[in-house]
Amino acid sequence: MVRVRFAPSPTGFLHIGSLRTALYNSLFAKGHSGVCVLRIEDTDRTRFVPGAMEEQIESLRWAGIEFDEGPHIGGQYGPYVQSERFDIYAQYGMQLIENGSAYYAFDTAEELDAMRQRQQAAGIAPKYDRSSMRNQYTLGEHETQRLLGEHAEHVIRLKVPLHSDIRFHDAVRGEVIVHGREIDDQILLKSDGFPTYHLANVVDDHLMEISHVIRAEEWLPSTPKHILLYEAFGWELPVFAHVPLLLNADRSKMSKRHGDVMVKDFIARGYFPDALVNYVALCGWNPGTEQEVFSRNALETMFSLERVSKAGAIFDYKKLDWMNTEYLKATPLDVLADNLVPMLVERKYEFTTAEFVKNVIGLLRERVTFLSEIVEFGDYFFSDSLNPLDAETESQLINNTQLKQALQVFRDDFSETVLASHEAFTAHVQAAAKASELKMGAFLKPLRQIITHRNVGAELFDTMHLLGMNRCIARINTFLS
RNA sequence: GCACCGUUCGUCUAGAGGUUAGGACACCGCCCUUUCAAGGCGGUAACACGGGUUCAAUUCCCGUACGGUGUACCA
């Protein structure tokens, strides 16, 4: 049974990189008929942000990533919030103390700082020095028990075997080897009684029967510590898979300052959830074919850890935009209309019937990146009070007597048949232009400006056809007067 | 500093000893055209470097360089 988990910390908004990690977990679970659990890792009380968990769940839900178990839905392995599992960690910490895999340490923050400074000065790697600091071994059993008896501040540290090499297989990277001497005696239980990530993570993954740990590459260096913990408990290892990081343009870990990185930012900018998910899935994974646009279902069946790439991927906002246009072109018009109508209503626009809006979207969607842009880009469809023309265009139009003549001809001979077909329209335009000795192009551009108050848009025939004869004539009359 | 991980067009990537090194985004050009797009066609552009191994290395091995991550009583 495949059981995976996504385990964010509620310290802020959901990061785009976290979204991808969650996605990979979810895709992997779905593809293997497994279970994806959400677990909240809130063991750092100092960084806890109220409401963050809810925000992250909401962002995930927006992206269509749902869980099978979690704090918001329950499940057989709860509770799914680590702060509610406080006693469990203490219990397992004690087990490690009893079997000699962990020990008590009483050093203060200042003492530890001093230790690191000494080590740096001596040019050696900063690492807890079990033989010189104040711990169970240097103090002796008697003194240790005495300190514990009087409730002296203490932590529990992992006793890392000095000379063992840790080697493990990573599903995306292959064999990874770390020498035991490089691994620090990690703190397992902090002086406030809360576990560190390392302990909580291993205990929970075991208790929740997680089969595959799919997480970001930043966890790779601490994986040996986790393996040591599994061994200390005598537990079976899950499969580890460390996925590459999402990077800024300068190849550093993707962060603010270089652009939007929170999922809520992408929501606000108007991306389709499926487009964002599709793009992000491709950032570090591909199926080995040349296909780039996938349904969610295709993603679920095709995704595999073996095809996740090893190197970090620079997040390409332009390609994301392209992906969004792909979805904009592929999504059924009535779905798009359902999304756009509320935005139009909010603007208090008058022409917002679903059918009309559908037609507008059909005309304009190839010209924008976001659906929401149509509100602005196609404003002349939704209201008859057009934005003022810019001064230069306006004076050009007003001073063009030939144009006015042509417009009069165009308007006077206007009938329903003009907009009945492209051919009829073209013939009508030509006749009006010819009567004033204008070239067709020289007439069409100003006509567009007068009808839409814009220089670009869909083909004029389609535009006017959708607007209808009366609205077109009204706009020409407004200009002529 | 040390440890680990990585390195194919500007970007995302395909490639698993012998390829004209393929695709996509972006960029440029042409076509289409009633503007802008979309679409079609075409183009510029990559195997970090040095040693091996091999008849043959982008591909395997070892170094070097560069980059990233980690090195907390944060996750």
Reference A178, options A215, A233, A125, A222; nearest CA is A222
Q: Above 90 in pLDDT, residue A384?
A: yes
Q: Above 90 in pLDDT, residue A464?
A: yes
In this complex, the nucleotide whose C1' atom is nearest to the CA atom of residue A247 is B68
Helix (H, G, I), strand (E, B) or coil at A215: strand
Provide residues 331-370 of A with CB closer than 7 Å to any strand B atom. Answer: 366-367
What pTM did the predictor assign? 0.94
* Distance between the alpha carbon (CA) of A475 and the C1' atom of B34, Å: 19
* Distance between the alpha carbon (CA) of A447 and the C1' atom of B4, Å: 66
CB A378 within 8 A of CB A352: no
Instruction: Report pLDDT for A227.
Output: 95
* Distance between the alpha carbon (CA) of A298 and the C1' atom of B36, Å: 34
Report the C-alpha dihedral over residues A447, A379, A373, A61, rounded to 10 degrees: -150
CB A102 within 8 A of CB A93: yes
For strands A155-158 and A102-105, give the pairing.
antiparallel
Instruction: List, as one string, the DSSP characters of A411-469.
Output: HHT--GGGGT-HHHHHHHHHHHHHHTT--HHHHHHHHHHHHHSSS--S-HHHHHHHH-H
Provide the sign of the torsion angle of the four alpha carbons A164, A165, A167, A173, taken in this order: positive
In this complex, the nucleotide whose C1' atom is nearest to the CA atom of residue A123 is B1
> What does the pLDDT average to over A120-134?
89
Q: Above 90 in pLDDT, residue A333?
A: yes
Pick the catalytic residue from A256, A310, A319, A439. A256
State the residue for tokens 């009380």: A45
Instruction: Report pLDDT for A416.
Output: 87
DSSP A305: G
Cβ of A130 less than 7 A from strand B: no
Residue A87: half-sphere exposure toward Cβ, Cα within 13 Å:
1
Q: Above 90 in pLDDT, residue A37?
A: yes
* Distance between the alpha carbon (CA) of A345 and the C1' atom of B1, Å: 62
State the residue for tokens 């006749």: A431
* Distance between the alpha carbon (CA) of A42 and the C1' atom of B9, Å: 44
Cβ of A122 less than 7 A from strand B: no
CB A307 within 8 A of CB A287: yes
Instruction: Report pLDDT for A201.
Output: 96
Joined tokens for residue A302: 């095709």
In this complex, the nucleotide whose C1' atom is nearest to the CA atom of residue A157 is B73
> What does the pLDDT average to over A179-189?
89
Q: Is A348 among the residues known to form the active site?
A: no
Helices and strands (H and E) in chain A: how many: 21, 11
Which of A242 and A259 is assigned the larger pLDDT? A242
Instruction: Report pLDDT for A438.
Output: 84
ipTM: 0.95
Q: Above 90 in pLDDT, residue A470?
A: yes
* Distance between the alpha carbon (CA) of A416 and the C1' atom of B34, Å: 21
Cβ of A231 less than 7 A from strand B: no
Instruction: Report pLDDT for A160.
Output: 92
Cβ of A311 less than 7 A from strand B: yes
Cβ of A10 less than 7 A from strand B: no
Instruction: Report pLDDT for A388.
Output: 86
Q: Compute the distance between CA of residue A18 and CA of residue A215 in angstroms, rounded to an integer.
A: 9
pLDDT in tens, A49-102: 999 999 999 999 999 999 999 999 999 998 999 999 999 999 999 999 999 999
* Distance between the alpha carbon (CA) of A289 and the C1' atom of B22, Å: 11
Q: Name the E strands within A165-205.
A: 165-170, 174-179, 187-189
Reference A386, options A376, A395, A396; nearest CA is A376
Q: Above 90 in pLDDT, residue A165?
A: no
List chain B nucleotides near protein: any atom < 7 Å from a Cβ: 1-8, 10-15, 22-26, 34-38, 67-75
Provide residues 182-201 of A with CB closer than 7 Å to any strand B atom. Answer: 182, 184, 187, 190-192, 194, 196-197
pLDDT band at residue A325 under the 50/70/90 scheme: very high
* Distance between the alpha carbon (CA) of A144 and the C1' atom of B62, Å: 50
Cβ of A283 less than 7 A from strand B: yes
Which of A434 and A162 is assigned the larger pLDDT? A434
Q: Above 90 in pLDDT, residue A162?
A: no
- Closest CA to the C1' of B23: that residue is A290
Cβ of A121 less than 7 A from strand B: no
pLDDT in tens, A297-307: 999 999 999 99
> What does the pLDDT average to over A280-291?
95
Q: Compute the distance between CA of residue A62 and CA of residue A217 in angstroms, rounded to an integer.
A: 25
Average of per-residue pLDDT values in chain A = 94
Cβ of A444 less than 7 A from strand B: yes
pLDDT band at residue A415 under the 50/70/90 scheme: confident
The secondary structure element, H or E, covering residue A37 is strand A35-38
One-letter amino acid of A61: R
- Please, is A257 exposed, middle or buried when counting C-beta atoms within 10 Å of its C-beta (0-12, 13-18, 19+)? exposed
Q: Compute the distance between CA of residue A152 and CA of residue A407 in angstroms, rounded to an integer.
A: 92
One-letter amino acid of A183: I
Helix (H, G, I), strand (E, B) or coil at A106: coil
CB A397 within 8 A of CB A403: yes
